[in-house]
Chains A and B, each alone.
Chain A
Amino acid sequence: MTVLSMKDKRRKHVRETRQDRIFNVVNLLFWGIVLFIVLYPLWLILIASVSDPDAVLQARVLIWPVDFSLMGYEAVFQNSELLGSYLNSIFYTVAGSALSVIISLAAAYALSRKFAGKKLVNLAITFTMFFSGGLIPIFLNVRDLGLYNTRAVMILMNLVSVWNLMVARTYIQTSIPNDLYEAAVIDGADHFTYFFRCVLPLSGTIVAVLSVYYGVARWNDYFTGLVMLRDRGLYPLQLVLREILASLTSTGSSDTFFAAYADNLGGLQAALRKAEVAKYCCIVVATVPAVVLYIFMQKYFVKGVMIGSLKG
């Protein structure tokens, strides 16, 4: 970053040519279009979620909310199934990511040190990146272990990602000096002491990066639940969303979904009306946690990803 800003400062002394000024205008125009394409769909979702259902149905909501109303959110928050799945997702995400981060970090530390058999362990772990048993053997394995349709499977599946493990190992190798280890060993530290007293306190950045990586992946995953769960009570949010959003069949659509809660929503007619905007509200409610987490953590995030990518 310092290199960049130095470059900018020196540049100012050189007057830009006509061609360069034209280029700058074209570039700004280019970014105007790119940012519109990226952000407008998100903005559209947001304003539709707080507009009147009729305006949304007639596609009159384009730039600003029309006839501001929160009835969609009302429908979402009165829906016990959605709320239940929301709580499930929070549990799977928080518990699962915490476990993932701890396990990955401990293993990453071990893999950053020299020991007999390291090559074999590395090979065995990397191999799983390129070859897997496939969907059906994985499913049968989970069933044989007695984990099918349990909360445990939602936490244990995808517990460690090879990529994240590598990122963490590279981080520990490059940003914690080996001198520290040697000094600690002279002071009588063993691996446990060194890991818990020296490596962990210095790993703030990588813990943040891994938490976002694991957390977002878990929050957004629906496929594991789709294959491994049968009880609707255990469903994560994304799986319920799938029925509301991404379905054309009459048995699984937002209309049927919200019509089932007609009593709480002021009758069937009102429920169907609210269902129209409730779709947009669902998207907002499901997406905000991941995006907010990213924006808060982005400083660490991009840095950590760079560390991993430069090595890989």
Chain B
Amino acid sequence: MSVSASVRPRSGGLRRRTALALRRDWQLWVLMLPCLAFFIVFCYFPMYGVQIAFRDYKAAFGITGSQWVGLKYFEKFFSSYYCGRMFLNTFLLNFFGLLFGFPVPILLAIMLNQLRGKRFKGFAQTAIYVPHFISTVVLAGMIYLFFSPTNGIINSLITAAGGKSIYFIMEADWFRPLFIGSEIWQNAGWNTILYIATLTSIDPQLYEAATIDGATRWNKIRHIDLPHLVPIAVMMLILNCGSLLSSNTDKALLLQTSGNMATSDILGVYVYNVGIAASKAQYSYASAIGLCLNVINFVIIMLVNGVSRRLSDISLF
């Protein structure tokens, strides 16, 4: 009783302050209202609903009415036969994607910055952004068409050179190269934007001084461009490390075939297959897997952000 008595005056003060602030700022809140409503209904409601991962979800009982089963579905997932394979596939797909995809935009930005003809430079810059605007479905369709075993251009080149036609999309060994290669083709150009912005902000006097000192183009790249790009590149690298276990589900779903399951079986697609596509959807089980992934990704991002802040003063928040 004494506690509530001592709290009451303060909460009254808070209420008064809130009322005052609301009277002053209500128009701002009205302007924000649709946006906030969206986040509450479409982001925070599902976060509340994630508790079905710990329940035996039955549509008839709803989210809060279904029976509590604790960690049953998490145990089921971690003891399932393909769990290890899926974690490994998801990690390797992202790891190789980072390994091969990360340096390309930096190279493109540096080489673009060295182009002299203004027209050609503008054309090149416009052109390398274009693939970014192609949809995932069309990209997958292009892979199916170009790498088709019967009339795809790649296989006609291989057979013309005397080789044997390869059924790319059905072979497990080719899933990662196709996935990552098409990813680089589609987004490497777009990802140069940040690096180009950094390069154009370099003081031109630096280049002039270097020219007077007899530096070649290559020297300037080595001693001016690269050092300027390092901080932003490190930040991008660290940020990308934060998504090593996330998955590009919509693209993987399109490229997964019965033939390449050994490498294309990744966590995001599994969640979709078990929870949405299956004729008898296992909502609780799929939610549990999704929750696991989200928590792991969240922890990785927080860790990486913390490490980055300590080491380089570069952080998201």
> Which residues of A line the B interface, CB within 8 A?
3-8, 10-11, 14, 17, 19-20, 23-24, 27-28, 30-31, 34-35, 37-39, 41-42, 44-45, 56-59, 62, 103-104, 106-107, 109-111, 113, 115-117, 121, 124-126, 128, 130-141, 144-145, 156-157, 159-160, 165, 190-192, 195, 216, 219-223, 227, 238-239, 241-242, 244-246, 248, 279-280, 282-283, 286-287, 290-291, 293-295, 298, 302, 305-306, 309-310
> Which residues of B line the A interface, CB within 8 A?
17-18, 21, 24-25, 27-32, 34-36, 38-39, 41-50, 52, 57, 62-63, 108, 111-112, 114-116, 118, 120, 124, 126-131, 133-138, 140-142, 144-146, 151-153, 156, 169-170, 185, 189, 193-194, 197, 200, 204, 207-208, 211, 216-218, 249-250, 253-255, 257, 271-272, 275-276, 283, 286-287, 290-291, 293-294, 297-298, 301, 317
A141-B298 contact, Cβ under 8 Å, with A279-B145, A294-B129 = no
Interface SS, B side: helix
> Contacting A222 at CB < 8 Å: which of B130, B135, B208, B287?
B135
Chain A residues within an 8 Å CB radius of B35: 103-104, 106-107, 160, 165
Contact across chains for A59 and B127 when beta carbons are under 8 A apart: no
A192-B27 contact, Cβ under 8 Å, with A159-B42, A245-B138 = yes
Contact across chains for A130 and B298 when beta carbons are under 8 A apart: yes
Q: How far is the CB of A64 from chain B (nearest CB, A)?
A: 14
| A126 and chain B: residue at smallest CB distance | B317
Interface SS, A side: helix
CA distance A239 to B151 in the complex (A): 25
CA distance A55 to B29 in the complex (A): 62
| A307 and chain B: residue at smallest CB distance | B197
CA distance A195 to B153 in the complex (A): 55
> Contacting A34 at CB < 8 Å: which of B108, B208, B294?
B108
Contact across chains for A140 and B129 when beta carbons are under 8 A apart: no
CA distance A160 to B38 in the complex (A): 7
| A124 and chain B: residue at smallest CB distance | B39
Contact across chains for A283 and B138 when beta carbons are under 8 A apart: yes
CA distance A127 to B222 in the complex (A): 39
